[in-house]
Structure 1
Amino acid sequence: MAKGGAVLRVCFTAEDLLQVTFAEEPAPMVELTLAIAALQRPDPIFALWRRRMTHAQRSVGPLLELIPATAKGPLFLDPPSRGFGDGLEQVLSAPAAFVRTELRRVHAPGRRPVPWTRLLADGDRKAWQTLEHAVRAGHQGLLAGSWDRIRAGFDAERAWHVQLMASQGIRPTLAGLIRGARWNGTTLEWDSGDDLEITLDGQGITLLPSVFWTGQPLVGRYAQGTYLIYPAVTPLPLLDDPAAANALAVLLGRTRAAILEQLTRPRTTTHLARDLGVAKSSVSEHTKALRDAHLVTAHRDGKTVWHSCTPLGLGLLTGTPGTACS
């Protein structure tokens, strides 16, 4: 359970379930916010990435003052958009009342606003120029050089979950996006740092995977609608270069894809380590991730652990979801 027993609940109607959709492309401003959060989170997967981004941290200082490690910064900073230019324009043209409300929300309680953010709430031109410079620098330093990988990871993730939705249905797909999620009637709930209930009012929800986020999904209510932002199966540091990898490797990472391809018949950890030329500890780590994604199963025979693909795993390999593994 989350600390204090907090539970986030998203209340669906039948109409809402019919209007669950996937975003068509990654949202640059959302990914920028989550990248700023990733700079501050002690996630070991991003340790090397954080070291490589040291040069960029100096130029995004103002964003670090606005966006905490939880990524729950002001919503006017991360509107879903079809490109960076469009997103930046939405940020800079955000209604003054919305800006003030969001800044009050993120600074209370316990976080005192720094002087320049108070000026931001007042519409001060220099403060907004400071923000614009930081957003542009963040996009250039944190996103631009990796955008092909981000887009390839998003495309593979979206294709996989659209396939899941077609084969398994909406409710299992939604619950599968969130660790520990469960359905209570037509309400999807999960343990969270926030005790909150969200109603969708027949407008549905848009699913938006992120390669920068590894925590529990976030729910954002924007002018464009309500978004469920969830961690992609493979975070950015594990994504292969899309020009040098097939779609499965882009989605899972090259080693995980190779392991899944081996498991069309049962294999032990030792077999996989020997055939793929990787350490047994690495195999164990990757097979755990594949189990968490419901792509493989494991059973113990004495001291030996046997791994095999699930119907979902084989379906991902063959493009025919629901096929049984032999």
Structure 2
Amino acid sequence: MLRIHFTAGDLVRTRVADNPDPLWESVLSLHQLQERQSNPAVIRWQKRVIRNGRASLRLLLPLVPARGYFPDFLTPAESAEGFEAGLDALLSTSRAQLSGQIARLAGDQPLHPWARSVAEGTSPVLRRLGEALRDYQHHAFGRSWQRIRARIEADRTWRARTQWHGGTDAMLRTFGRGLCWRPPVLESDYPVDMDMHLEGRGLLLIPSYFCHRTPVALADPSLPPTLVYPARSVGPGPTPPPAAAGPRLARLLGHTRAAVLESLGGECTTSELARRAGVSLSSASEHAAVLRSAGLISSNRLRNCVHHSLTPVGLALLDVGAIDRSVR
């Protein structure tokens, strides 16, 4: 169990990452590459990456075992600004940090000779490591990066919107099973038992496509507190939230009501509308009533559920909002 202890100041400083983190995705995808899978699509991905990326995997897998510790220098904070920025930061890691983290890796498993050479931090070795990461990115993600980004962006938008309207406390309650908010402690399933005291630094939450089962934190407590968690899936799972409301639409209806209106992509129940817009069930019902009275949506009861859909007037209003966003 991982217990993250918050103060009032930490709640103010806690946020969801603005962008997908390519180096976190690289490391966590290396974990999935080494796991036994039942999903045929994932199995096909594993086979393709192993077949095409053998050279890079020979250098990366000794640093990222299937279970347990992996070095923090592989996921620098600068990676939030993009792969190249993260790679530059990784290749600038001090020899003291490299040797210390590789020594910790050696405590969990026999150390591969390549890992020992990384600990020495010579320029040729780090250059080879950088080339391996770039090659792995190409083979593991390729054209699928847009799909990875889309899921992460959908999750990030929903959490950030919830935080904007309901505060950090409300956002921390959105995670559900596996990551439970019991103020002032966020509890997570975790391979080891540990406590993380934020002490006013806040927490950076990073949604991840390849993170699954349990969230992942940095091992070094002196680094900025970070928790990577599984981005919620689309398809059979929760519906991804819509883009943020256009500024003119928000000024007309208010941010929350505009978000509720934009969440109506096709017919949905009040409960689904609440999930999509990141609001409570009662709030979704209240906003739906106002939108219905304005002629923007229609509602019909089917058995025990009320189903909502856009009217032609509502669709036209959203079209104006889309034009507003496109010309800004």
Q: Same fold per TM (> 0.5)? A: yes
Q: 1:89 to 1:316 in 2, by over 3 A?
A: same
2:6 is matched with which residue: 12, 15, 25?
A: 12
User: Equivalent residues in 2 for 1:1-326 (5 A)?
Assistant: 7-45=1-39, 46-59=42-55, 60-70=57-67, 72-80=69-77, 81=79, 82-109=81-108, 111-177=109-175, 179-220=177-218, 225-234=224-233, 248=241, 263-264=268-269, 310=271, 313-317=272-276, 322-324=283-285, 326=306
Query: Number of paired residues?
Result: 256
**SS of equivalent residue, structure 2 residue 62:** helix
**SS of equivalent residue, structure 1 residue 44:** coil
Q: Is contact 1:34–1:71 with CA below 8 Å preserved after alignment?
A: no
Q: Is contact 1:37–1:71 with CA below 8 Å preserved after alignment?
A: no
**SS of equivalent residue, structure 2 residue 61:** helix
Once the 2 structures are TM-superposed, how far is the Cα of residue 178 of structure 1 from its aligned partner? 5.5
Q: 1:223 to 1:43 in 2, by over 3 A?
A: farther
Gaps of at least 5 residues in structure 1 are: 1-6, 240-245, 251-259, 265-308
Q: Is contact 1:216–1:230 with CA below 8 Å preserved after alignment?
A: yes
Q: 1:231 to 1:318 in 2, by over 3 A?
A: closer
In 2, Cα distance between equivalents of 1:323 and 1:249:
15
In 2, Cα distance between equivalents of 1:261 and 1:202:
43
* Identity, % of aligned positions: 30
Q: Is contact 1:175–1:188 with CA below 8 Å preserved after alignment?
A: no
In 2, Cα distance between equivalents of 1:95 and 1:177:
36
**SS of equivalent residue, structure 2 residue 20:** coil
Once the 2 structures are TM-superposed, how far is the Cα of residue 41 of structure 1 from its aligned partner? 2.1
Once the 2 structures are TM-superposed, how far is the Cα of residue 35 of structure 1 from its aligned partner? 1.2
Q: Is contact 2:17–2:205 with CA below 8 Å preserved after alignment?
A: yes
Equivalent AA in structure 1 for residue 158 of structure 2: W
**TM-score, L = length of structure 2:** 0.69
Gaps of at least 5 residues in structure 2 are: 244-264, 286-304, 307-328
Larger Rg computed on CA atoms: 2
**TM-score, L = length of structure 1:** 0.69
Q: Is contact 2:6–2:198 with CA below 8 Å preserved after alignment?
A: yes
Q: 1:18 to 1:157 in 2, by over 3 A?
A: same
Equivalent AA in structure 2 for residue 88 of structure 1: L
Superposed CA RMSD? 2.9
